[in-house]
Structure 1
């Protein structure tokens, strides 16, 4: 796999199209959840778009890393996706490790918070996140907020 990380304005048109297609294919179509996918957070200059292409040229993984104050008081990782074609191959773990590293590099004095789909809570716990809220519904899907504390001041 070939990994990339860019700001919105550094994405080329093919990368932007592939990113939007993967996000809509998984979050809207696969999960049968119509919701406002385009939320303007993508275009914030500090937002980091992390993604990987397979050797065949398919975007197979994506995550969006946001600065503190955009979604939560802390830095955050969202829109975490692994294409069906590579699920079960450890790509999600690699994706999260890279996203955590990006957040740590850009915002070293902040923890990292996520709004996780509840059925993935154990996966995110393997990455070091701990639940910090009760469960709630977001766009009809059970979620829970989780925090990765990093001994920051």
Structure 2
């Protein structure tokens, strides 16, 4: 298995396909959310993922400050169905936070599904908004402070 970090322009066609397929499978199909999964933020994101013999294991995208939020953000965090429950989500967040903190030296803001708040709190994120409904799922905004 190997962790990869690439800008959109560095991605190969099959990598783009694997990323978009995993995101649609998890967020649109599994969570039954009809929304524009592929968006303009993909073009400016750093895409980070773990693959196992060309199979997507875990994925997130990191957006620079002043794109989606004033702060750097981590989003589209997922572990594919066959790899869940094996600690890959924790590895992914460690990789994403490390990358964002070292490359951007900024606070990190996330839009978290509310039921995952304890997971994100375990990495030092703190809730900064009340819960709100987005695409039929309760979310909260959270912040990680760069030290």
TM band (smaller chain): over 0.9
Superposition TM-score, scaled by structure 1 size: 0.93
Aligned length, in residue pairs: 147
Counterpart in 2 of 1:117? 113
Q: Deviations over 1:56-112 (max 9, x none)?
A: 42111100001011111111000001011111111000000000011112211x200
Cα displacement (A) at 1:114: 0.1
Partner SS for 1:42? helix
Matching residue of 1:75: 72
Name the residue aligned to 1:7.
7
The equivalent residue for 1:21 is 21
Whose helix fraction is larger, Structure 1's or Structure 2's? 2
TM-score w.r.t. structure 2 length? 0.97
Q: Residues 91-138 of structure 1, C-alpha deviation per residue, up to 9 Å, x if partnerless?
A: 000000000011112211x20010000010010011110101000111
What CA distance in whole angstroms lies between the structure 1 residues aligned with 2:121 and 2:108?
A: 13
Q: Which runs of 5+ in 1 are unaligned?
A: none
RMSD: 0.8
